[in-house]
Amino acid sequence: QVIKCKAAVLWEANKPFSIEEVEVAPPKEHEVRIKIVATGICRSDDHVITGALVMPFPIILGHEAAGVVESVGQGVTAVKPGDKVIPLFVPQCGECKNCLNTKGNLCSKTDLGTRAGLMPDGTTRFTCKGKAVYHFLGTSTFTEYTVLHQSAVAKIDSAAPLEKVCLIGCGFSTGYGAALQTAKVEPGSSCAIFGLGGVGLSVVMGCKVAGASRIIAVDINKDKFAKAKELGATDCINPKDFNKPIHEVLMEMTGGGVDYSFEVIGRTDTMTAALACCQYNYGVSVIVGVPPAAQNITFDPMLLFTGRSWKGSVFGGWKSKDAVPKLVDDYMKKKFVLDPLITHTLPFTKINEGFDLLRTGK
């Protein structure tokens, strides 16, 4: 059966979402149709609106969510109708080179980088006003119902509160894993985190859980500092308070640079600052924020020659299908909190207000 439901459709760049009635086709072979119960707003969705992340239009955005399986296509064995699930914008097919390698997590089946906006078979499941509507990162969660490939669905604990664990679908896992999986932060080490949105705060939590002794939070919005301290930051600094480059300030504060630094904004200037502020011989800097399209970085290669490591991290380095159910279990066992990352809860029809709150740093 085709389902008619509400969705937030983005018809073109730099315009608000429009709440439309869309038609959602039934799942094909190896596909799953789910009812979205809760979805988060992430800066990566906003990057599509501004053109920093290039995608085709019209499109249904959204990639951080939780929901319930409504129906399954032929050949789907991992989930059944009624199961609680989290959509995975980085799928885990279990067959590609990255899935088979213990060090890899960026499944080749992800739409990240290809920007096709289609299901793996090259078609879409959404129609609006007679027009085909593109998918986003194989998830498209700004709709009451969506269709996913089974490799992009993780079954989770049926007792989990979906309006909280939806954050494990992107923001929380991305930041927490950048510290624990990608950087492998060690006990007693020093860390600097650039950017204190939901993902940056999750990096702070990851550094704390890993046993870092000094966690320096960096943001130009001082309103973020109280929450960063609550979650484990030992120092909070605002680059606007200094008349010298922030990497020099951090070098002085730590006597030669931090062991680990994280860029969680998605700006090239802060990426180079994060690299420069880590220890010149064994420091590790991790890029977590999505880099803007068509921008390059120019930096002095001496920064790397002396021994620093520069890394990237997508979805916190977690193998999604394996890790998401475990992270939900950890949340249920109170190994970490999610409430401080939730600033507002809005009805679906107020999605544009939600994005205004994101853009104003609230």
Residues assigned a catalytic role: 42, 44, 47, 63, 170
The DSSP bridge partners found for residue 67 are 36, 85
DSSP type of residue 182: I
Written as six digits, the tokens of 175 are: 């930041």
Instruction: Answer whether 230's CB lies under 8 Å from 203's CB.
Output: no
Strand, coil or helix: what is 18?
strand
- List the 145-149 sheet strands across, edge first: 145-149, 31-39, 65-72, 84-87, 153-155
By CB atoms closer than 10 A (0-12, 13-18, 19+), residue 33 is: buried
Instruction: Answer whether 281's CB lies under 8 Å from 307's CB.
Output: yes
First to last CA, the chain: 40
Query: In Å, how far are 19, 22, 61, 258 from 6, measured between CA atoms?
Result: 6, 6, 13, 48
Query: In Å, how far are 9, 82, 201, 242 from 183, measured between CA atoms?
Result: 37, 37, 16, 28
Instruction: Answer whether 65's CB lies under 8 Å from 141's CB.
Output: yes
- List the 3-9 sheet strands across, edge first: 3-9, 18-24, 126-128, 131-133
DSSP string, 300-317: -THHHHTT-EEEE-SGGG
